[in-house]
Amino acid sequence: MLTEFSLIDKFFKKETQQNSETRLGIGDDCALLAIPNGYELAITTDTMVENVHFFADANPIQLGHKLLAVNLSDLAAMGAKPLAITLALTLPRIDEHWLSAFSQGLLTLAQRYNVDLIGGDTTKGALTLTVQAIGLVPNKQALKRSTAQVGDIIYMTGLLGDAGLGLKIKQGYECQSKNALMRFHEPMPRIEIGLALRNVASACVDISDGLVGDLSHILKQSNVGACLDFDKLPLSDDVKKYIEKTGDKFMPLIAGDDYELCFTVPPKLAHRVPENCTAIGIIEKESGLRLKKSGHIETFTAKGYEHFS
């Protein structure tokens, strides 16, 4: 039986730290990070619980990837460059095969973004996975939720609703889309775009709980409203087919797990928005979220949506 120390050592300790800011990694009571002059730390944490956030039969490589991806997505949404993570694992038993696959998924993504794993803890109990991620952002350049302005254009990265479709497939919807399942199991954090949005976006969130829910955070905290143009939403052919077949046109708007960025940009900075981003709406003075579709305007409420005009 592996002890806690040997478990982290065996599966998660890396030979070299990748960032000069990492002064001390795994092995002491605390890790030590240097904060460069002119920077702030961006810190976030996300937990995934078996049977709540993932299925009991989930592939451990994909779980390791997704656990890190959802945390890095929050750093991306703030315009922060990933630096380091800590990892807390609650495991029902020590399964070396599972741990090896899980660490492979997590460390492969960590390496891609030069993220140092600087500490961790393991306990026994129902399978619960937690990462705390730490990033760097230049002073006062973090992308917040509270700073959208009336007249700003609303954009999003990538495509909307594919992860939601992946979940529908897991729940029994018949569709052959491997892409939708990949987007559900292995989201890619939009780190590069988050960095490119510093001094461009006026506000930003990542779409973890659904576009409507996450954009509503920007609207509430910025004290503004918005109108989304349904016909401009970037939907894959698979999602369009799903809507045709089921009539469930709001799935892409309310489904979570896409981990794309949704952000607002003043019109005069629109030329600096990176490629692969789509303008989907406009920030308005009137509070609430409206949806324009085929010339009609509908308004969303907490219960879903209702016809407005």
Q: Which residues sit at the interface with Mg ion, rule CB under 5 A?
A: 74, 206
Contacts of 53 (CB under 8 A, 6+ apart): 47
- 171 DSSP 8-state letter: T
CA angle at 155 for the pair 151 and 156, rounded to the nearest 5°:
160
Taking the complex as a whole, the smallest distance from the CB of residue 158 to Mg ion amounts, in Å, to: 15
**Between residues 206 and 257, which has the closer beta carbon with respect to Mg ion?**
206
**Between residues 206 and 260, which has the closer beta carbon with respect to Mg ion?**
206
Taking the complex as a whole, the smallest distance from the CB of residue 174 to Mg ion amounts, in Å, to: 31
Region label for 294, one of left (φ > 0), alpha (ψ between -120 and 50) or beta (otherwise): left
Taking the complex as a whole, the smallest distance from the CB of residue 301 to Mg ion amounts, in Å, to: 23
Taking the complex as a whole, the smallest distance from the CB of residue 257 to Mg ion amounts, in Å, to: 12
Taking the complex as a whole, the smallest distance from the CB of residue 69 to Mg ion amounts, in Å, to: 12
Pairing of strands 225-229, 128-138: unpaired
Contacts of 98 (CB under 8 A, 6+ apart): 60
Taking the complex as a whole, the smallest distance from the CB of residue 78 to Mg ion amounts, in Å, to: 9
Write out the two tokens for 165. 């479709």
**Between residues 206 and 238, which has the closer beta carbon with respect to Mg ion?**
206
The Cα–Cα gap between 131 and 134 comes to 10
Taking the complex as a whole, the smallest distance from the CB of residue 209 to Mg ion amounts, in Å, to: 8
Contacts of 203 (CB under 8 A, 6+ apart): 143, 144, 145, 146, 147, 148, 152, 218, 222, 263, 264
**Between residues 17 and 44, which has the closer beta carbon with respect to Mg ion?**
44
**Between residues 109 and 218, which has the closer beta carbon with respect to Mg ion?**
218
- Interior/surface letters 265-278, b for 16+ CB within 10 angstroms, e for the rest: beeeeeeebeeebb
